[in-house]
Amino acid sequence: MYFLNMTGLVDVCKPVPVFQKLHWVSRRGKNRWHFHYGLSWCYSLLNGVSSHVISTGVQIILARSCGSRCDSTVKINGESYRTVWVEPGDGEMCLKIIDQRRLPFSLEIEDLVSVEDVVRAIADMHVRGAGCIGVTAAYGVWVAARESEGDRTNLDLLCGRLLATRPTASNLLWAVNRQLQAIEGKPVEQWSQITLREAGCIADEDAEWCQSIGRHGLGLLEGIAAGKPANEPVNVLTHCNAGWLAFTDWGSATAPIYAAHRSGLPVHVWVDETRPRNQGARLTAWELANEGVPHTVIVDNAGGHLMQQGMVDVVITGTDRTTYTGDVANKIGTYLKALAAKENNVPFYVALPSSTFDWETRDGVGEIPIEQRGGEEVSRVEGRLSSGELAEVDVLNPGSATANYAFDVTPARLVTGLITERGICAATEEGIAGLFPRKQQ
Ligand code: MRU
C-alpha cells in the first residue's frame, strides 16, 4: 500500500526493487504507462517468457484499453483519478481503490488482492455510492474468476459473497450479473481476461453516463438561472455524496453542477452533512472544494428552513436504486427533503445512470430492502483532532439504544423528474419507459 498526502507521494512500503519503483513512477501519466508497459515486457523477456507473463501482458493491455485511471475528468492536485482502477502490481494486475474512509483528511490508495478484500472494501465502505459499488463489484468478479481456479461452483460462491455486501444499491447486482453473463459458455481459461475487459467497460460506461447526466442537467440549471436576476447563483441542495467518488467520474447529482460551473453558470450548493457517516460534510464538500464550486455545509435538519426562505432553487440527489415506476431509494433523510421540497414548491430531481434502475420492482416502499447498519455509526462520530490525528468520539448517552437505517424510499409522486444519461423524464412508469423502452418488462 502507498499513501498520498495532499502535497505528493509518500512511499510507506518496505524497500523494493528498482523495477517495482518504476511501477509507482509510471502512475503519473498516460505516456508513462506506455513507458511502463515497455519496461514490463523487456523485464518479462529477460526472465524468460512464461505463459503467466503473457497472460499478465494481455491483461495490462486490456486494462489500458478501458477502465484506466488516467481517463478521468476529475483531478486531485492536478492528477487524474478514478475511484477504482487496475494497474500492474507484483507480476499481476492489481485492483486499486481510493479509500473513502480517510477523506477529506488524507488521500490513501488501497490494493484489493483477494475477494475477501473486495468484500470488506464494499461492506465497510472503503468504497461507497451506487456506481462505485457496481464498478468495484465488477472488478471483484474478475478477482473471483482468478481465485475460483476455473471452478464454476466456487465462482458462484465468491460472487454470492460480493452480492451480500450491500443490499440496497442495485448497481451491485447489475454489475455482477453482467460479468457472469459475459463469461457464460466461455472456456475457463478466458474468464479472467473477459471479466477484466468487461469491468473496464463498466467503469468507462459509468463515467460516460454520468457525463451525459451532466449535459442534460446543465440545461435544467440554465433554465432555472434564466428565471433569476442575472449573475445570481442557482442554489442547489444535495444530500449525501452522489459525486464522482460515488461513481468512477463526474458523479450523478454533481454532474450538472460541475457542468454548470465549468460553463461559467454561477452555482452554489447547500451540502447536507448526512449523518451518520457525514458523506456530505466530508466527501461532497471535499469534491466541490477541489472543483472550486461555491458551497455551504448545513446540518441535515436545515433544508426545510432554507426552502421556506426561498434559498433553494432546486434539490438534486442521487439514488441507490430506483424502481421502473419512479420510486427512489437513497440515503436516509432524502424522503424528508422531498417532503419539504413539495411543501415549498421547490423542484426535486434525482440523477441516475440507467444501471441504477431496478427493472423488477414496482413498489419501492414495500419491496426495496433497506440496509440496517451497526449502531456504532450513530453513537460515535469520527473527526480530526487539532493534533491532526483522526479519532472517534462517543456522542450518545451511554447505554441508549440505537437504530441505523441507511436508506429511505421517496415515492415517485414527490419526484419532479429523473435526470438520466438519455435525458430528463417524469418519475413514472411511462416517463421511464419513454427513455428506456427495451428495458421494460
Ligand atoms: O451508504 P452510501 O454512502 O453507499 O450511500 C450511497 C450514497 O452515496 C447516496 O445514497 C447517494 O446519494 C446515492 S449513490 C450515487
- At position 320, the amino acid (one-letter code) is D
Residue that wins the pLDDT comparison between 421 and 3:
421
Answer yes or no: is pLDDT of 2 > 60: no
Mutate to test the pocket of ligand 1, among 124, 172, 240 (most ligand atoms within 8 A of CB): 240
- Annotation marks residue 327 as catalytic: no
Q: What's the pLDDT at 100?
A: 97
Answer yes or no: is pLDDT of 92 > 60: yes
The predicted model scores a pTM of: 0.86
Per residue in 370-404, pLDDT tens? Answer: 999 999 999 999 999 999 999 999 999 999 999 99
Per residue in 291-303, pLDDT tens? Answer: 999 999 999 999 9
Distance CA 190, CA 182 (A): 11
Q: What percent of the chain has pLDDT over 90?
A: 78
For 122, 142, 144, the CA distances from 162, given in Å and listed in that order, are 8, 12, 9
Per residue in 132-171, pLDDT tens? Answer: 999 999 999 999 999 998 899 999 999 999 999 999 989 9
Answer yes or no: is pLDDT of 68 > 90: no
Angle between helices 191-226 and 254-263 (to 10 degrees): 60
**What does the block give as the cell for 219?**
440545461
Q: Which of 320, 327, 358, 408 is catalytic?
A: 320
Q: DSSP label at 372?
A: B
Residue 222 burial by CB count (10 A; 0-12/13-18/19+): exposed, middle or buried?
Answer: middle
Domains of the chain: 2-204 (1.20.120.420), 213-440 (3.40.50.10470)
Distance CA 315, CA 238 (A): 6
Cβ pair 298, 272 in contact under 8 A: yes
CB under 6 Å to ligand 1: residues?
128-130, 240-242, 246, 252, 279, 317-320, 330-331, 406
| pLDDT mean over 42-49 | 38
